Every structure is written in C-alpha cells, then in structure tokens.
Structure 1
C-alpha cells in the first residue's frame, strides 16, 4: 500500500475513497454528492486528482491485498490504521469524516464496510484527540 505525506490531500482523499469503494462499487450518486459538497476544494485536489487517488487505492488493493473491486471492504485493520494515521490535523479529520458520512448516505444505504471504516476512524481519531488533550 502506498504511503502519503501526513495531512496531504491524497491521504485525506484516500480515506474518502475507501468509504466510496468499500461496498464494492462506486455509484454516480456518491460522486455527485462529493461534487455537491465541494469535496475536491475541501481536500485541496482537482476532480482529476481525486479520481486518481481512487484509482491508486483500487490498484493498491489489487497489488498488495490480492483483492478485486468487490472485495474493497476487506482491508485489513493494520492497513486501515496506517491510512488513518496519515491524517493528524483535527480540522482535516473532521472534514474527512463529514465527506465520508455524506458519501455513505448518498445511496441511501449504509453498508457494513462503510460503517466499519467510519466507526474505526471516529474511534481512532477521538482516542488520539482525548490523549493529546
């Protein structure tokens, strides 16, 4: 799995991508919701860069996880923790969670894998905030 710089737009976008792809497919409503919320501007990326992060994540899953598109939700806990650790800024974390929640709600169905990613992010990031304060 590739690494991104801490608090980089790509690190944040990959977590949003993970939620968008975690149910095994990317629907147009999810992309439309991201566009409506200004996700690219909020993350500091162009639309093309966001789509590239999504493509890179999918390729990483195939290369390192030996998973296909339908198995995108099977990311191992250590890899998920590594991705979450790349986003440390509290405001960026809040923005990522806002976008992840919106993406999960876009198709009017929360999959178990979407819930797992968002719940794990909240738990890790809230724990980190509590211990830092």
Structure 2
C-alpha cells in the first residue's frame, strides 16, 4: 500500500518524478544532480530534504510490495495509474510532465520503462509534447 499524500501536493508531484527515476531499477546520480540544476525543488515548492523523504518512502513502499522471492514489480500499471491520479490540476500535470522530460534528458538516456511510463502519463493526462513545448518554450 502506497503512502498517501494530499492530491496535487508537492509530495504527490515529487513522487511521480521519483517513480520515473526508479522505473528502470537504476537511480542514476545524474538524475539526482539534475534536480538541483533544473531547479526542480523550487518548481515543485518542496525542499531537497522533503524530496529525499518522498524518495525513501517510495522505495520503502516498493519493498513492502515484494513477493516471496523478494522480487519487486517496478512498473505496475495500477500503481502508476493510482499515482498519476493524485495530480489532477492541469497546470500541475503540465509542470510534472515538463520536469519529468527535463529530468529524463539529464542522464542523456531514456530507458524503455521511463519512456513507457512517460507516454502513459501524457496519454492519461491528455497532454502532448506540443503542449509542453507551447507552455514552456523560452
């Protein structure tokens, strides 16, 4: 059972980024570094410490879901949908989708699980890459 955060809270948005970071089973140090350089903490209105707490809680929730052999399903459609449903405000969905894309590009490779979850995120929230570009083109 996943920890509950208030809908549209900084923690709910942070957890979606954590889910993407963890989806390939490899937490790349560059992804953590990118949180700082991309100003993700400020964008989400969350402290670095609180973000790390959300990361730890997510990892603990995943380990609680391990089967008898200790295997963990990193990409579970129901979990992904449940977590995506915690962010319902269109502006916040657009923000998370934009930050996720920036973060994924930071380690210069987007894994298949990251790409699959990201595509599902856009589809579930009815967003396109054009929406993201239009909202955040500088």
TM-score above 0.5, yes or no: yes
TM value normalised by structure 1: 0.85
What residue in structure 1 maps to residue 75 of structure 2? 75
Output one character per residue of 1:77-106: Cα deviation in whole Å (capped at 9) or x when no partner: 111101000001111111111111122111
RMSD: 1.7
| Superimposed CA distance per residue, residues 98-128 of structure 1 (whole angstroms, 9 cap, x where no aligned partner) | 111122111111101100111111000007x
Residue aligning to 1:37: 38
Paired residue secondary structure (2:126): helix
Tell me the SS of whatever aligns to 1:126: coil
Tell me the TM-score normalized by structure 2: 0.82
The structure with the greater share of residues assigned to helix is 1
Structure possessing the higher radius of gyration over alpha carbons = 2
Q: Which residue of 2 aligns with 1:49?
A: 50
Q: Which has the higher contact order (CA 8 A, sep 6+)?
A: 1
CA distance in 1 between counterparts of 2:45 and 2:66 reads: 28
Q: What runs of 5+ residues in structure 1 fail to find an aligned partner?
A: 128-133
- Give the aligned length: 124
What runs of 5+ residues in structure 2 fail to find an aligned partner?
A: 128-138
